[in-house]
Structure 1
Amino acid sequence: MFLKNLILWVLLVSCIASADSTVYPTALINVGARDATDLSGQWHYIVDPLKTGVVRADSRRYSVFRDFAGPESQVDFFEYNFNAAPRMSIPGDWNGQDVSLTWYDGLVWFRRTLDLEALPADRQLLHIGAANYRALVYVNGEKVGEHEGGFTPFAFDVTDKLTAGRNSIVIGVDAEHSPTSVPTPVVDWKNFGGITRPVHLVSVPDTYIHDYFLRLDGDDRLKAEVRLGGDDVENRDVLIEIPELGVALRGKSDESGRAAMEIGVPADLQKWSPGSPALYDVTIAAADDSVADRVGFRTVEVNGSEILLNGEPVFLRGISIHEEALGAIPSRAINEARARELLSIARDDLNANFVRLAHYPHATVMTRVADEMGLLVWSEIPVYWDIDFSNEDTLALAKQMQHENIVRDRNRASIIMWSVGNETPQTEERLAFFDELIDDARRLDDSRLVTAALHNVRSEGGARIVDDPLGQLIDVVAVNTYQGWYGRMTLERVPSVEWQNPTGKPFMFSEFGAGALYGFRDKEKEKFSEEFQVAYYEATIEMAKKAPDFAGVSPRIL
């Protein structure tokens, strides 16, 4: 069975690699502010555990993505029928919507039809917020592209694939991971499969605003960059307006479609902070396109062992959060109400000013709500545990995920740190891998800090010494620690644990915690009792009080 699955995986990868379309295209940002048709709703779906639709893609009988109307004769056999197939809510994971798919990690084909009275005059981009893990996208039976990675957006130009009348959109989503994927199949969170974030058909002019980036550079400069897409991108007028501040930045795009502008910081600009999350209405205009946004402005930097927000030291009182909606049946379909519910628990119930969005990019609605609520954010890509650090394709994939995440969210004032990974083994290959990722992160965004959750700690004379070489490359040294939970250490010994941070950089505990069974009480503080959990946190906090250069916490997990 393993060999059979391996062969199917190789065939799927080969099919993707041979496609003519651009691999891993970066999506538009801020789709919610565009002229877009929301394709959310009920999609028909067909489960394909043997990946027959890929392996036999050249067969009329099995090529499910072609979505043929039906047999043309009594001997024209078909192995699929979307019209008779069940339906599922999109966005949404299949694990919680079909009990037979609760633990399914294979291929599912989704179809949605769209009726157009006439062909749109503008360019049409099919934008998918996220699909876990690998997506194959077809419009009217023709392949428009594919994407690997379960947590970042992608888009394809489908202008010449649409027709007046009925249009078929088919997206095959394969949740299976491989030893060279990011992450690998071995993780400690549920692998929700499906089209987990919204799908839109976005209408843009021939020359359109692809992305933009506004931020403060120190206390005296406000910088902005705009990148145009489509045709005729050179020498186009670009205008950015912030009416409340009386700001109007003007520039012209270069031959690549990029325009860079800067001005002095307006005297009346109120900087964004947890206590005062000021956001400004911003309009970006170029050619015949215009996009509106809400953007906050703040600075974040490291000064010795301190993290400075707007020039003042800040201690990160946080919690780690997975992207799972609250409820009896866990779901990865996150909307504004669900995001606000999760983040309100952090801010209002736990008095947090910081959240670690573990261990992958969360939906953009999470960071937008964090902007509004005044929560600082750690954003992470799923370079997790033992990925293939010596594989160039794996590195390229991690870079692409990071690029998609940073470009999507770098206008969110709440995000103060990009994390390049979590709990990875200490090897030369891994250090070289992260060296490139960190360089890319800083090239894409020089206004934020870079971190990673470490766990390689050396014990010497009773001290825990954080001398992982990766600590020299990042701005904030973060460690996942479970003293008194894993291993034989008793809770009585935890407060006396000594930590050493040779880097002298800000130091934080990015994870710690103890599980408990709700309602299990035990005066003797047996593990998994509520009493043990309370005692564990009390002991860990006492340990943290003595840690050097200590700058924050984000226990696991909300």
Structure 2
Amino acid sequence: MDFYPRPQFERKAWLDLDGPWSFDFDDQRIGIKHKWYETHDYSKEITVPFVYQSEESGINSQDIHDCVWYNKMIILEEVDAPRILLHFGASDYYTQVWVNGQYCGDHKGGHTPFSFDISNQIQEDRQLKIDVCVTDYSYDEHLPRGKQNFKGKSEGIFYTGTTGIWQTVWLEFTEKDYIDSVCYIPDTVENTVNISTEVQAPTNAKLGIRIYRGNEVIVDSTSIIKGHSMTVDFEIPDFNDHHYGYWWSPEHPNLYDVELVLLVNEQEVDRVTSYFGMRTVSIEHQLICLNHMPFYTKSVLYQGYYPNSLMTAKSDAEIKKDVELIKQMGFNSVRLHQKYENPRFLYWCDKLGLVVWGEAPNAYSFSRRSVEELLQEWQQAMKRDFNHPSICVWLPLNESWGVPKIKNSVVEQSFANTMYYLTKALDPTRLVLSNDGWEHTISDICTIHDYDADIEKLKERYTSVSAVLEGPQGRRIYVGDYSYDEEPMILSEFGGIAFEETNEDNASWGYSGASTSKEFEEKVLTIISTIQASELLQGYCYTQFNDLEQEVNGLLTMEREPKLALELLAKINQMK
């Protein structure tokens, strides 16, 4: 791995554990009973963090194996730290971990990070034996699984499954006193930033905070920590009398670097580097605003699947290239679809300037368990991603997935409201939807999904609020006693035009189609310009960035080869 896996909270002392691990399937579920975590003759090798279903893993099997084991042996010869953390970026779905035969703990959820303090498991010889058992549930419709298929095979809009470790595994080394977390809340009205930190340290500890704008130090403060947390507001000085120029936006993705230093008895014991962006997301006079100015959303749907490696990028450069391509197409936003994306993707959106809609992977059936597990992962993801200035919209539910009876079910409507209000309580700084696409309860934005390919019908529909609210997909936009109250409207899914040069697979599909590259280009440009012409809409999200397995309605192929002239697409996007 060529990058630090947690860009918002970075330390120098860490060790990448990606690469070859020993591996086995455990279809009989005997590994724990037979104590494989103590001794086991592993028969396979896998390349972490790629799942066994992918080519990059070295195994490349699409058979269902819902229990898998990993083993890694290392020696920490040059490490002398009192606290050692074992981190997992993500592992799907239920993960149990042993170090040197001792149980460390478990984690439930397929998309969010977790870690264990393994300091007490380290032996005198500094040898580290890590064993991991991951249990998946490939056919369970109650898990928040996103676009992973639940019928045993990839078909339609559902793709090859993910089982086991699929994001970076790494060790981190700290002293016994350390900085635990940091949270930034920018205020562009008062031109201040609120910084909250949590630490594990004695009562006489101090925390130094230094904020940089480029190479210029604009804040240098040291304070005594009372208890285990500290909250402080810092004024951000104007920059050449035009601080607007140093707020974060897609056109000007300005970031402030931060250095946090923990001092115990005046000695430095921990140092973390981080960053934030000054920006405000709001609705003002029924207009979506970024930094108090109207913001017209020009977005593309992004599902985060990569050739030969499924949900895991092969390098940081591959992640960065996708963000660059989205901007090259003239989009100013990206909607992450049914996936909590790798933090490095969010980092490049922060760095290069791309507004993000953060979306939860949903379940497909409603139950007490599906509610509990979605809520758990959603809160973990929000905590992980809170500090990224690029994220401007939270989207916990999509197209009534996981709430299939929401039209008539008060219980499911209550759950959608719960997700809305919980998200607002945890993060009042961003816009929130209850249920993207249709069947809204309470949402800050009225979003619509419409894959009609008839240009004349689209022109007519998006000149009338009443026509829109009928629901172009055969589902009303609001349910129950909920109704439209002049919220900003965005067409958050449309297009989906299928085209591939060699159509040898009868299973390939899209929502509509084109038979030649010229026809595809014309249809894409025409449908975008048609939507732009609507005075009702404050933006759009085109489906989609790239082809995915049998779904060939991307602007790019799965390998990221353009299917139309990107400069023409950019020109159309930039007309609004």
Normalising by structure 2, what TM-score? 0.77
| 1:422 to 1:334, Cα distance in 2 relative to 1, 3 A | farther
Answering whether residue 6 of structure 2 is matched by residue 35 of structure 1, we say: no
Shift of 1:261: 0.6
Match for residue 378 of structure 2 among 402, 413, 434: 402
Q: Deviation per CA, 1:318-350, whole angstroms, max 9, x where unpaired? A: 11111222x3564523532011111121111x1
- Give the corresponding residue for 2:247: 271
- Give the corresponding residue for 1:212: 182
- Give the corresponding residue for 1:182: 144
Which runs of 5 or more residues in structure 2 are unaligned?
151-156, 264-268, 470-483, 504-510, 547-576
Whether contact under 8 Å (1:28, 1:211) holds in the other structure is no
Whether contact under 8 Å (1:371, 1:413) holds in the other structure is yes
Distance 1:216 1:331 in 2: 32
Whether contact under 8 Å (2:95, 2:133) holds in the other structure is yes
- Give the corresponding residue for 1:336: 316
| 1:89 to 1:99, Cα distance in 2 relative to 1, 3 A | closer
Answering whether residue 132 of structure 2 is matched by residue 171 of structure 1, we say: yes
Answering whether residue 451 of structure 2 is matched by residue 482 of structure 1, we say: yes
Match for residue 516 of structure 1 among 485, 498, 503: 498
- Give the corresponding residue for 1:116: 76
| 1:238 to 1:119, Cα distance in 2 relative to 1, 3 A | closer
Answering whether residue 302 of structure 2 is matched by residue 321 of structure 1, we say: yes
Q: Give secondary structure in 2 for the equivalent of 1:180.
A: coil
| 1:258 to 1:189, Cα distance in 2 relative to 1, 3 A | farther
Whether contact under 8 Å (1:324, 1:334) holds in the other structure is no
Higher mean C-alpha displacement, 311-320 vs 512-521? 512-521
Whether contact under 8 Å (2:437, 2:448) holds in the other structure is yes
Distance 1:277 1:267 in 2: 17
Q: Which amino acid aligns with 2:394?
A: W
Q: Which amino acid aligns with 1:403?
A: Q
Whether contact under 8 Å (1:479, 1:508) holds in the other structure is yes
| 1:281 to 1:550, Cα distance in 2 relative to 1, 3 A | closer
Distance 1:260 1:149 in 2: 31
Q: Give secondary structure in 2 for the equivalent of 1:443.
A: helix
- Give the corresponding residue for 2:387: 411
Q: Deviation per CA, 1:89-144, whole angstroms, max 9, x where unpaired? A: 11212211355522435121111112134884421111101112221111112221
Shift of 1:189: 3.6
- Give the corresponding residue for 1:92: 50
Q: Give secondary structure in 2 for the equivalent of 1:423.
A: coil
- Give the corresponding residue for 2:102: 142
Whether contact under 8 Å (1:118, 1:164) holds in the other structure is no
- Give the corresponding residue for 2:515: 529
Whether contact under 8 Å (1:44, 1:87) holds in the other structure is yes
Distance 2:332 2:65 in 1: 36
Whether contact under 8 Å (1:452, 1:478) holds in the other structure is no
Q: Deviation per CA, 1:175-201, whole angstroms, max 9, x where unpaired? A: 324343223764724322231111111
- Give the corresponding residue for 2:344: 365
Q: Deviation per CA, 1:268-298, whole angstroms, max 9, x where unpaired? A: 2511111111122211122422201232221
Q: Give secondary structure in 1 for the equivalent of 2:526.
A: helix
Q: Give secondary structure in 2 for the equivalent of 1:238.
A: strand
Whether contact under 8 Å (1:520, 1:529) holds in the other structure is no
Distance 1:110 1:250 in 2: 44
Within 5 Å, give how 1:35-434 maps onto structure 2.
Answer: 35-53=13-31, 57-58=32-33, 62-66=34-38, 68=39, 80-82=40-42, 85-96=43-54, 97-98=57-58, 101-117=61-77, 120-165=80-125, 166-177=127-138, 178-183=140-145, 186=150, 188-230=158-200, 232=202, 236-243=205-212, 244-255=216-227, 257-268=228-239, 269=243, 270-287=246-263, 288-325=269-306, 327=307, 330=310, 332-348=312-328, 350-384=329-363, 386-388=364-366, 390-391=367-368, 393-424=369-400, 425=404, 426=406, 427-434=409-416
Distance 1:221 1:98 in 2: 51
Identity between Structure 1 and Structure 2 (%): 22
Whether contact under 8 Å (1:360, 1:381) holds in the other structure is yes
Distance 2:262 2:134 in 1: 35
Distance 1:334 1:226 in 2: 34
Distance 1:249 1:105 in 2: 53
Shift of 1:514: 2.7
Note the aligned Cα RMSD (angstroms). Answer: 2.8
Distance 1:41 1:480 in 2: 41
| 1:28 to 1:318, Cα distance in 2 relative to 1, 3 A | closer
Q: Give secondary structure in 2 for the equivalent of 1:421.
A: coil
Whether contact under 8 Å (1:334, 1:363) holds in the other structure is no
Distance 1:162 1:440 in 2: 40
Q: Give secondary structure in 2 for the equivalent of 1:33.
A: coil
Distance 2:384 2:531 in 1: 38
Distance 1:34 1:475 in 2: 40
Answering whether residue 526 of structure 2 is matched by residue 538 of structure 1, we say: yes
| 1:200 to 1:344, Cα distance in 2 relative to 1, 3 A | same
Whether contact under 8 Å (2:67, 2:136) holds in the other structure is yes
Q: Which amino acid aligns with 2:166?
A: T
Shift of 1:453: 5.0
| 1:405 to 1:328, Cα distance in 2 relative to 1, 3 A | closer
Q: Deviation per CA, 1:215-242, whole angstroms, max 9, x where unpaired? A: 312421423333435454x564222211
Q: Which amino acid aligns with 2:229?
A: R
Shift of 1:534: 4.4
Shift of 1:246: 1.7
Distance 2:7 2:429 in 1: 19
| 1:276 to 1:31, Cα distance in 2 relative to 1, 3 A | closer
Which runs of 5 or more residues in structure 1 are unaligned?
1-26, 69-79, 457-467, 485-489
Shift of 1:207: 2.3
Shift of 1:46: 0.5
Shift of 1:535: 3.0
Distance 1:212 1:236 in 2: 16
Q: Which amino acid aligns with 1:131?
A: S
Whether contact under 8 Å (1:105, 1:176) holds in the other structure is no
Shift of 1:545: 3.0
Shift of 1:30: 4.0
Q: Give secondary structure in 2 for the equivalent of 1:512.
A: strand
| 1:100 to 1:343, Cα distance in 2 relative to 1, 3 A | closer
Whether contact under 8 Å (1:29, 1:408) holds in the other structure is no
Count of residue correspondences: 484
Q: Which amino acid aligns with 1:171?
A: V
Q: Which amino acid aligns with 1:111?
A: N
Whether contact under 8 Å (1:192, 1:332) holds in the other structure is no
